[in-house]
């Protein structure tokens, strides 16, 4: 038996008895970042494939949510900072070794891109839209002319944003639950799935709804595959990671993770997508709500459980 106690007393705020430095703003920020990445990815993908006319929700309408999502996410990130007056320091340094720095700069690229994308598609929302100044008209014409280039930059930057939402956690080897490279692709898949579900809901045509239901189904399959690999990796790893996995395999996060994230957030929407593709009249709002609920719950659970997992010495 081994017992370890701090005899001098240590109750540092947000550190003891267990780490709670990251509250709701960080998982919320990662959720909206992932969802924004998912929507922009499909907007860029369908544009690059020349399917703009068939998939109007993906390329023209859904991207209008993205700037709002990113502003909400950045607002949450700002709320989370303890030393707010120095926020600007993020943008006076580029540190390649720091995932937080990568994230800040990626958002610096993705946010203006999403606004440009909305600007060049605004006439599809408001047909009578006219830019007020000549230079704005010229700028709009310039961006429309280079739409394909913007789409390529957007598909790459949105992929980085989607992966980054997981890498932010996985770069910390001090927290055994987070310290797995699977989190990057898993959070990317979760963001893409959320994006696909929103687009399927917003889809104007049967083709668009069924295509994105298929895409969502495929991505949910990939997510389940990655979750199995996540736990296989943990259970085949060192003691600290076995104990981290036990938080989900009998520990305090078992029920919320398997019921809310895996069952309600992945298995049920996958069944609904499948039934929809088989012709059953399933309202697309249902899988969307469930996927979004699963996606946000997933990030909250990983954020909190990761802080509860630690090295023992």
Residues that bind another protein (CB under 8 A): 1-16, 19, 21-22, 80-87, 89-90, 92-93, 95, 97-101, 104, 171-175, 238, 307, 310-311, 313
| Closer to another protein by Cβ: residue 10 or 128 | 10
CB of 109 to another protein, least distance (A): 16
Q: Which residues of 177-207 are buried (b: 16+ CB within 10 A; e: fewer)?
A: bbbbebbbbbbbbbbbbbbbbbbbbbbeeee
165 closest CA partner among 128, 191, 140: 191
287 closest CA partner among 222, 227, 209, 188: 209
CB of 30 to another protein, least distance (A): 13
CB of 9 to another protein, least distance (A): 7
| Closer to another protein by Cβ: residue 1 or 281 | 1
CB of 253 to another protein, least distance (A): 18
Distance CA 258, CA 196 (A): 22
| Closer to another protein by Cβ: residue 2 or 278 | 2
| Closer to another protein by Cβ: residue 9 or 250 | 9
| Closer to another protein by Cβ: residue 7 or 50 | 7
Distance CA 253, CA 250 (A): 8
**CB-based contact 66:39 (threshold 8 Å):** yes
CB of 11 to another protein, least distance (A): 7
**CB-based contact 161:132 (threshold 8 Å):** no
């Amino acid at each position: 038996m081994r017992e370890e106690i701090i005899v001098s007393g240590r109750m540092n705020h947000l550190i003891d008895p267990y780490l709670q430095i990251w509250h709701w703003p960080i998982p919320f920020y990662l959720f909206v970042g992932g969802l924004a990445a998912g929507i922009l990815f499909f907007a860029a993908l369908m544009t690059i494939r020349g399917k703009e006319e068939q998939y109007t929700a993906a390329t023209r309408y859904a991207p209008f949510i993205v700037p709002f999502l990113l502003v909400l996410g950045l607002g949450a990130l700002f709320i989370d900072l303890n030393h707010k007056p120095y926020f600007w320091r993020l943008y006076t340094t580029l540190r390649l070794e720091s995932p937080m720095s990568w994230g800040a700069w990626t958002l610096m690229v993705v946010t203006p891109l999403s606004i440009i994308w909305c600007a060049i598609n605004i006439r599809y929302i408001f047909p009578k839209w006219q830019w007020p100044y000549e230079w704005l008209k010229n700028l709009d014409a310039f961006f429309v002319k280079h739409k394909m280039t913007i789409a390529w930059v957007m598909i790459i930057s949105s992929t980085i944003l989607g992966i980054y939402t997981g890498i932010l956690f996985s770069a910390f080897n001090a927290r055994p639950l987070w310290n797995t490279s699977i989190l990057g692709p898993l959070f990317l898949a979760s963001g893409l799935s959320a994006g696909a579900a929103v687009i399927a809901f917003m889809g104007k045509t049967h083709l668009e709804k069924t295509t994105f239901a298929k895409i969502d189904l495929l991505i949910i399959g990939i997510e389940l595959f990655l979750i199995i690999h996540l736990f296989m990796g943990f259970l085949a790893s060192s003691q600290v990671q076995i104990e981290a996995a036990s938080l989900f395999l009998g520990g305090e996060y078992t029920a919320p993770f398997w019921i809310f994230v895996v069952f309600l957030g992945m298995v049920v929407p996958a069944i609904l997508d499948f039934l929809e593709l088989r012709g059953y009249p399933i309202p697309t709002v249902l899988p969307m709500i469930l996927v979004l609920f699963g996606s946000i719950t997933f990030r909250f659970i990983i954020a909190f459980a990761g802080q509860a997992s630690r090295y023992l010495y």
